[in-house]
Structures are given as C-alpha cells and as structure tokens.
C-alpha cells in the first residue's frame, strides 16, 4: 500500500490498475475491489 494525497484512492496489483477513484469518480462499492482482484488470484 502506498499512501496518496488529495483524496487519491487507487488499487494496483501486479502493476495493473484494479480501481481508481479518480477514473470512476467515486469510491468503490462494497466488495467491488475484491471482485476485481479475483481473476489475478486464479493462476
């Protein structure tokens, strides 16, 4: 985890952007980030 500034909330895994509050214009819904990470866990 890397602390951001100015309300940044980005989630990255394996160098890939999983969720960006800036790009979406909102915080993620409950479970949204977990669901986005699941494909990366199935290797």
Structure tokens at 20: 């960006």
Q: What's the pTM value of the predicted model, to 2 decimals?
A: 0.73
Tens digits of pLDDT across the chain (43 residues): 667 777 888 999 988 999 999 999 999 999 999 999 998 887 5
Q: Which residues neighbour 16 within 8 Å (Cβ) at sequence distance 6 or greater?
A: 40
Rounded to whole angstroms, how far apart are CA atoms 29 and 6?
Answer: 20
pLDDT of residue 6: 77
């Amino acid at each position: 985890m890397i602390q951001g500034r100015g309300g940044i909330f980005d989630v990255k895994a394996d160098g890939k952007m999983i969720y960006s509050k800036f790009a979406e214009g909102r915080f993620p819904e409950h479970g949204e980030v977990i669901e986005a990470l699941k494909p990366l866990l199935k290797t």
